[in-house]
Chains A and B, each alone.
Chain A
């Protein structure tokens, strides 16, 4: 089994808050790993550390055996570790289709000169990417809005667009931060199908998600964070039954 993504002892504090305190994570290639945990557990911060949007205080992370801590965010994305955000960051000023195409940036091979004169290769590549983007938009039901301003989409569709944009990057490992937040049951089922197809296409997924039925349905392994630390990890059923996990969620409820 190849390890796609591995973190060891990742830690980060904000002032007095220890948002992530020594997290170890091992994500096998081609699997779906779910990260659960109450609000404020440090899930988003863990993603930020892995993608260099926030530098860690200590710890290491490797993508397919290559260290990525210390690289800048763009370099990490170019190596194939791509993410979405908890609140979708759709790009204003661009259409839905263009937003999706921005995701493909790391795959574009035509030089700037070729793009400027639209040499065969550049325009061929552009057309192929646009076709691919339209197909993906089709699968999430956004094809009819491809040429609309992306910021005109409702919040749920913006999350789907962000997913499409990330998929257009053809990532090796994809980090999704609460992809189902704000979606209704039908949309969640659609999302589950897309995620399963993504995994079957060989893309490794790490998903922060609160929707437990989606997690149980999809995940190969589940990691539960609380107060910035891993309190439990393993197969979905085992984690769901774990006393500490229940306590962590109940603790938040009171």
Chain B
């Protein structure tokens, strides 16, 4: 009984933190209709800033708390002004989601540069000795947590109900068009909401600090927890956010206490997926519906083509470059980087079919790489299968999983689809960590052999290079053919307008499944090759941060051309390898690049090279009044 109560208390305490994070997410969602994946970064920035002020500089607790929260709020205002406000109305909801993922990456990189990669432990505010109430042990920090949640809840409720800001904010959430007609500046409200949300997050981070280890990359953990809480409670509902947060905390503690601490995250993600798919209004049915949220991935899709003579020339140059690269670069050590780049190109080709062509956002692409990689490695090492057979078996397995995932998420669109794929990725991550007996858990699998075919073994970087790039070339040629045939046009029609696509006889669900399966298959092959080349696998290498990195590479390279994957993967993999001083700033640069390209280079790097159809009459058109309906 006493143990049960302690578990419950522990759950409510971590739940209170999740609730604080979720409140911030909800606030921004209500105003701008976007889920801000960078929220977790504000939590970590707040905690680390607090650590620097309180523990290192010796400030008293409350001023340090206030200063950390205010500082992070200022940072959030800058972010909102520089990156988010220009995106409103320009990018679709999926595009903005990826943008905020870029901001998250950027700040994780910043935290890495400032605070380094070691975890920090903030001392408890009021001593380490727990309070004992009726025989139940409660950490003193718990009092701070409860107080923080209570104070912010009250303050938020008052602000929402009583102030002009609150009314304007509610108006934005209920009907942004009407709100802007009434003179409310929705963009300015978005900036304000970001600031308040960031302050809430920073506060949560500082206060939970003593109960958890914080590092530069803990931000994604808080983002995930916050968004699970939000999804559980119903996206857009303040009460739902609090309830969802508490529910998640308790569920996690119960699973950890009674089932297994390794699998407790798995359980959370299974619940999350089920809720997203079966009860998108949340278990409490409290979602505040926003009718205005556009569900398409990109609003203005540029037409970029690599056809004709220019395309053939580019292709020929590329083929030669790829063919001779290792001969030229053999001494530089860059060949190893190019092998990894090739692996990513392969995974990205699939992601481009799914995202660039079919318009289905996936934030869990690395999970398919993980399945392919781990299945291959285990089949070779434990079952003694020949590498080729293991690769094929892993491919089949991933295809089946891909088809199943697509079946589960098929009905979801836009934000919900992106979140469900993120949840799927997190689920796979947690299984990799949890099934330690098979996968080696967090420390991973070592001693994976090289690829071999009969007596022929692929040893060394140059051999690996040719193996990987031959696979890339074959898959690339097949996909380019497909993309320029009826299949590719059907996928693009689905991305552009599902209703029109259906009215033309395109079976939308089936084609989405094809896209998912192709994406999964490419990722699986990439995973297998990765395992053979690296001889080592760990969850970190193929988990959600990798998924976000893949999206970054695709967006930076350019979507919907199948050329972007090549550019994105090669540039982002080689940049830190070539410009050594950049290596420390890799994460910062990736985040900043993603944001910049989303905002200012909609076609990505490929867009610079691609041939664009001229639009001769655009000037004349602008002057023509719209034809009457």
Contacting chain B: which of A14-22, A93-101, A190-198, A245-253? A93-101
* Interface bits B41-71 vs A (CB < 8 Å: 1, else 0): 0000000000000000000000000000000
- By beta carbon, the residue of chain B nearest A118 is B481
- Supposing A74-B505, A86-B629, A152-B617 touch, asked if A93 and B560 sit within 8 A by C-beta, the answer is yes
Indicate if the CB atoms of B493 and A94 lie closer than 8 Å.
yes
B482 proximal to A (CB < 8 A): yes
B614 touches A106 (CB 8 A): no
* A-facing residues in B419-433 (Cβ within 8 Å): none
**B304 to chain A: closest CB distance in Å?**
9
Contact yes or no, A126 B485, CB < 8 A: yes
For residue B621, CB closer than 8 A to chain A, the reply is: yes
Query: How near does chain A come to B481, taking the closest CB pair, in angstroms?
Result: 5
Provide the residues of chain B in CB contact with A77, threshold 8 Å: 502-505
Known contacts A92-B301, A94-B303, A117-B478; is-contact A112 B514 (Cβ 8 Å): yes
Cross-interface CB contact of A115 among B487, B492, B614, cutoff 8 Å: B487
Decide if B487 touches A87 in the complex (CB within 8 Å).
no
B486 touches A104 (CB 8 A): yes
A101, B493: Cβ atoms closer than 8 Å: no
Of A83, A98, A182, the residue contacting B489 (CB under 8 A) is A98
Is the beta-carbon distance between B495 and A93 smaller than 8 angstroms?
A: yes
Q: Which residue of B lies closest to A84 (CB)?
A: B503
User: Do B486 and A74 touch (CB < 8 A)?
Assistant: no
Task: Give every chain A residue within 8 A of B300 (Cβ-Cβ).
Answer: 92
Q: Answer whether residue B508 sits at the interface, using C-beta atoms and an 8 A cutoff.
A: yes
Q: Decide if B323 is an interface residue (CB 8 Å cutoff).
A: no
Provide the B611-629 mask, 1 if CB < 8 A to any CB of A, else 0: 0011111100100101111
Complex CA distance for A51 and B479, rounded to whole angstroms: 32
Contact among B303, B487, B505 for A112, CB-based, below 8 A: B487
A181 interface hit (Cβ, 8 Å) = yes
**B507 within 8 A of partner (CB):** yes
Q: Is B213 an interface residue (CB 8 A)?
A: no
Supposing A77-B504, A82-B503 touch, asked if A156 and B495 sit within 8 A by C-beta, the answer is no
A103 CA to B501 CA in the complex, in Å?
Answer: 9
Map CB proximity to B onto A120-151 as digits: 1 under 8 Å, 0 otherwise. 00100010000000000000000000011100
Are B506 and A74 in contact, CB atoms less than 8 angstroms apart?
yes
User: Which residues of the partner chain B approach A181 to less than 8 Å between Cβ atoms?
Assistant: 627-629
Q: CA separation between A86 and B364, bound complex, in Å? A: 39
- Indicate with 1 or 0, residue by residue over B109-149, a CB within 8 angstroms of chain A CB atoms: 00000000000000000000000000000000000000000
Query: In the complex, what residues of B have CB within 8 A of residue A78's CB?
Result: 505
Counting CB contacts under 8 A, is B302 at the interface?
A: yes
Contact of B302 among A93, A106, A165 (CB under 8 A): A93
A-contact 0/1 string along B319-330, CB 8 Å cutoff? 000000000000
Q: Is the CB of A93 within 8 A of B482?
A: no
Query: Is A74's CB under 8 angstroms from B514's CB?
Result: no
Q: From known contacts A82-B504, A106-B504, A154-B624, infer whether A148 and B481 are also in contact, taking CB-CB under 8 Å.
A: no
Contact of A149 among B495, B504, B613, B628 (CB under 8 A): B613
B89 to chain A, nearest CB (A): 16
Task: Indicate whether A214 reaches chain B with its CB closer than 8 angstroms.
Answer: no
Interface check B437, CB cutoff 8 A: no
A26: interface (CB < 8 Å)? no
Instruction: State in angstroms the CA–CA spacing of A104 and B481 once bound together.
Output: 18
How many angstroms from the CA of A48 to the CA of B466 in the assembled complex? 54
Q: For A110, what are the chain B residues with a Cβ–Cβ distance below 8 Å?
A: 485-486
The answer to whether B496 has its CB under 8 Å from any CB of chain A is yes
Q: Mark B491-521, 1 if CB is under 8 A from A, else 0.
A: 0110111011111111110000010000000
A156 to chain B, nearest CB (A): 6
Whether a CB of chain A sits under 8 angstroms from the CB of B490 is yes
A-side contacts of B508, CB under 8 Å: 74
Distance, CA A169 to CA B617, complexed state (A): 29
Chain A: minimal CB distance from B496 (Å):
4
Question: Which residues of chain B are within 8 angstroms of A94 by Cβ–Cβ distance?
Answer: 303, 489, 492-493, 496
Contact with A along B395-420 (1 / 0, CB 8 A): 00000000000000000000000000
Cα(A117)–Cα(B482), bound, Å: 8
Q: Is A72 an interface residue (CB 8 A)?
A: yes
Q: How far is the CA of A75 from the CA of B502 in the complex (A)?
A: 8
Q: Closest B-chain residue to A156, C-beta based?
A: B627
Q: Determine the distance from Cα of A72 to Cα of B504 in the docked complex, in whole angstroms.
A: 12
Closest to B502 in A: A73
In the assembled complex, the Cα of A182 lies from the Cα of B526 at a distance in Å of 52
Contact partners of A72 in chain B: CB under 8 A: 502
Chain B residues, CB < 8 A from A101 = 486, 489
CB of B504 within 8 A of CB of A102, answer yes
The closest CB in chain A to the CB of B484 belongs to A126
Nearest CB of B to A48, in Å: 10
Q: Mark out the residues of chain A between 64 and 80 whose CB falls within 8 Å of any chain B CB in the assembled complex.
A: 72-75, 77-78
Q: Is there an interface contact between B624 and A51, defined as CB atoms closer than 8 Å?
A: no
Give the complex CA separation of A83 and B502 in angstroms. 11
Residues in A neighbouring B500, C-beta threshold 8 A? 85, 89, 91
CB distance from B406 to the nearest CB of A (A): 16
Residues of B within 8 A of A165 (CB): 504
How long is the Cα–Cα vector from A152 to B624 in the complex, in angstroms? 13
Among the listed A51, A149, A182, which residue makes an inter-chain contact with B503, where contact means beta carbons less than 8 Å apart?
A: A51
CB of B503 within 8 A of CB of A102, answer no
Q: Is A108 an interface residue (CB 8 A)?
A: yes
Known: A91-B497, A93-B496. A74 touches B489 (CB 8 A): no
**A52 nearest CB neighbor, chain B only:** B502
Q: Distance in Å from the Cβ of B349 to the closest Cβ of chain A?
A: 13
Cβ–Cβ < 8 Å partners of A87 in chain B: 629
0 or 1 for each of B277-304: is its CB under 8 Å from A? (1 = yes): 0000000000000000000001011110
| Nearest CB of chain B from residue A211's CB, rounded to whole Å | 13
A91 touches B496 (CB 8 A): yes
Contact indicator B617/A117 (Cβ below 8 Å): no
**A74-B506, A74-B508 given; A182·B627 CB < 8 A:** yes
Assess A115 versus B626: contact at CB under 8 Å? Given A89-B497, A105-B505, A148-B614.
Answer: no
**B618 A152 Cβ-Cβ under 8 A:** yes
- Are A115 and B615 neighbours in the complex by a CB distance under 8 Å? no
- Chain B residues 510-549 with CB under 8 Å of chain A are 514
Query: In this complex, which of B478, B499, B503, B617 has the most chain A Cβ atoms within 10 angstroms of its Cβ?
Result: B503
Query: Which residues of the other chain, A, contact B298 by a CB distance below 8 angstroms?
Result: 93
Kindly list chain A residues whose C-beta atoms are within 8 Å of the C-beta of B303: 93-95, 149
Chain A residues with Cβ below 8 Å from B628 are 181-182
Bound form: Cα–Cα A106–B501 in Å: 11
* B489, chain A: closest CB distance, angstroms: 5
A53 within 8 A of B: yes
Complex partner residue of B505 from A91, A152, A169, CB under 8 angstroms: A169
Closest to A39 in B: B629
* A105 contact from B305, B490, B497, Cβ within 8 A: B490
Minimal beta-carbon separation of B504 from chain A (angstroms):
6
Query: Which chain A residues border B621 with CB–CB below 8 Å?
Result: 152, 154
Check B615–A152 contact: CB distance below 8 A.
yes
A185 CB to nearest chain B CB (Å)? 14
CA distance A117 to B495 in the complex (A): 24
What's the minimum C-beta distance from B628 to chain A, rounded to whole angstroms? 6
A57 to B389, CA, bound (A): 54
B501 contacts across to A, CB distance below 8 A? 74, 102
For A109, the closest partner residue in chain B by CB is B486
Would you give 6 A-B contacts (Cβ < 8 Å), ordered by A? A74-B507, A93-B301, A105-B490, A147-B613, A148-B614, A155-B627
A residues engaging B (CB < 8 A)? 51, 53, 72-75, 77-78, 82-83, 85-87, 89, 91-95, 98, 101-106, 108, 110, 112, 115-118, 122, 126, 147-149, 152, 154-156, 165-166, 169, 181-182
Interface residues of B (CB under 8 A from A): 298, 300-303, 305, 478-479, 481-482, 485-487, 489-490, 492-493, 495-497, 499-508, 514, 560, 613-618, 621, 624, 626-629
With A53-B499, A77-B504, A93-B496 already in contact, 4 other A-B pairs whose C-beta atoms are closer than 8 Å: A74-B505, A74-B506, A93-B303, A105-B506
3 shortest interchain CB distances as A-B pairs:
A93-B301, A182-B627, A77-B505
